[in-house]
Amino acid sequence: MEAEDVLTATQLVTFKLGAEDFGIDIENVKEIIEIPPITYVPNTPDYFEGVINLRGEILSVIDVRTRFGMEAAKRNEFSRIIVVHMRGYKIGLIVDSVSEVLQLRGMTIQPPPPIAKGIKEKYLEGMIELKEDKRIILLLNLDELISEEEFGGEAEIEGVLGGAAAAEEKKAKAAEEAQLVTFKLGRENYAVEIHEVEEIINMPEVTIVPQAPEFIEGVTSLRGEIIPLLNLGTRFGLRAKEKITHASVIIVGISGFNVGLIVDEVSEVLRVPKDNIVPPPPHLTTAEAEQLHGVVKVRYGEKVRLILYLNLSNIFTTDIREMLKGIGAEKQKEKKIKGREEITEKRITIVSFRAAEDIFGINIEKVKEITLVPDITVVPRAPSFVEGVINLRGEVITVIDLRKRFGFPPIPRDAFTRIIMADIDGATTGLLVDAVTAVTAIGVSAVEPPPRIISGIETEFMEGVVRLEGEKKMLIILNLPKLLTKEEKKKIEEVGSQESGVGSQDVVGEEKQTAKVKLKKAKLKTGEV
């Protein structure tokens, strides 16, 4: 930086980090916002705070204090995010406070003072001195702060924004929706593809593996198969290893063998339009971005939830796969040699859930998705067990309360209540249940014919029963076509007809929202704001 350099910007947005004043050319500043909820992205640098949803656009956020190597400070009501535009994309910068917009012209840029060099000189373009105010403004070098080397060059960014979008359009022609299993780790939401999921179980008994990495919780035996259990929270650095008592385990298939992913809570099974999946933030390194298929935006009324869509193939590196294969390898081998017939037995995958004190199940082939309970519109003169109708991405869905259908006493809904979207005779119907408990692969030989009566439910509703280990009651597999009588089905069809007007209005709203999202994406591709 030479002393004779002249500031060409006419306006600077100034902000504070501690006692220091900094400035950014206003041409690079798109807006300044309060700090909203931030979604953490695992395995990223400490200065990468995460991503936020800014009016439907996924925005990466950097903590400038951490980026500069400064001491962390508690955020308060003055903390802000400055949204800047660099090399065709936007990024958020967290600062202590925003001061003002200065009108400047033709001022001399001087090298940064020695006191500022401890911050990291390469991030500073220089300084200007306001003699009247006795202030020094340090000018940010955005090219270094958001460097091509660390965040990817223009060609790479164009590939992310343009090539990935084109690839998504091609995929959308083959399959318009992705089906995902979503779950929680702490306060964040994650998802994996449903075809990668073998089953979902409650936390089993765990056998500790000596000298295993910290994120390996141990192994468990599932129907004779040794399953390594991986603690995703520890793997992503979200928390220190601790004894786990209440959790769920998602069994996934990786390179020909099964691994259990320990998560805090399985949330939903969603069918998500491909348009709602955006590429990973371009500011991640290649290795970090490869751990994500993208970020999913799910809208609940006025709220939008961000879900990190994990790429398990890249999270499980070759070293980790080999290590997991080695854990319990001898027992795995013994199992394969011991019972080939057991391995080849035909299995069905059952989604199990609770209604009152009973456990029920539905063949997963009949399940379209599992969702939280949205606003339900009550329908006059509908059957008593019909809770009402909901709008699911423009489709009007009738919701049946299985408690009422089976004659169980009502209870208030809670955080575990779910709606299972099921295919009944070609029509999508919502089944309101107390809680979804598991997704389990069951051998066909384990399914027994139903007795005549269980808890007052006639056997025509049942396809079979399964004895569950550790449960006093059996799993009742429902025969969905027999869940309703012909008269009841006719009444429900009438309910759908009554509410078609409501559905149409909602569809118009959905179409408007979709148009806005597509317009925003088009602007993003062309570099417009």
Q: Are residues 499 and 356 in the same domain?
A: yes
Q: Are residues 383 and 335 in the same domain?
A: no
Residue 5 lies in a domain: no
Amino acid identity, position 203: M
Residue 468 lies in a domain: yes
Q: Are residues 112 and 222 in the same domain?
A: no
The parts of the chain modelled with pLDDT lower than 50 are 1-3, 117, 153-174, 330-331, 334, 337-343, 452-457, 502-529
What is the pLDDT, as a whole number, of residue 455? 45
Residue 132 lies in a domain: yes
Direct distance between the N- and C-terminal alpha carbons of the chain, in angstroms, rounded to an integer: 32
Residue 112 lies in a domain: yes
Q: Are residues 335 and 383 in the same domain?
A: no
**Which of 228, 284, 454 has its CA nearest to residue 360?**
454
CATH code of the domain covering residue 399: 2.40.50.180
Burial class (CB in 10 A: 0-12, 13-18, 19+), 45: middle
Q: Are residues 357 and 464 in the same domain?
A: yes
What is the pLDDT, as a whole number, of residue 288? 78
Q: Are residues 452 and 373 in the same domain?
A: yes
Q: What is the pLDDT of residues 40-91, one digit of tens each?
A: 777 678 888 888 878 767 788 999 998 888 888 899 999 999 999 877 778 9
Last residue of a domain, one of 119, 151, 183: 151
What is the pLDDT, as a whole number, of residue 528? 40
- What is the rounded distance in angstroms from the CA atom of residue 116 to the CA atom of residue 111? 10
DSSP 87-129: TTEEEEEEESEEEEEEE--SPBPBPPPGGGHHHHGGGEEEEEE
Q: Are residues 412 and 319 in the same domain?
A: no
Q: Are residues 319 and 368 in the same domain?
A: no
Residue 249 lies in a domain: yes
- What is the rounded distance in angstroms from the CA atom of residue 408 to the CA atom of residue 186? 34
Q: Are residues 373 and 319 in the same domain?
A: no
What is the pLDDT, as a whole number, of residue 460? 72
What is the pLDDT, as a whole number, of residue 353? 93
Q: Are residues 187 and 310 in the same domain?
A: yes
- Domains: count for the chain: 3
What is the pLDDT, as a whole number, of residue 150? 62
Residue 130 lies in a domain: yes
Residue 426 lies in a domain: yes
Residue 20 lies in a domain: yes
Last residue of a domain, one of 300, 320, 344: 344
Residue 75 belongs to domain spanning: 11-151
Strand order in the sheet with 248-254: 216-222, 225-231, 257-263, 248-254, 197-202, 435-443, 347-355, 358-363, 475-478, 462-466, 447-448
Q: Are residues 208 and 254 in the same domain?
A: yes
Q: Are residues 393 and 320 in the same domain?
A: no
Largest CA distance in the chain: 94
Last residue of a domain, one of 87, 117, 151: 151
pTM over 0.85: no
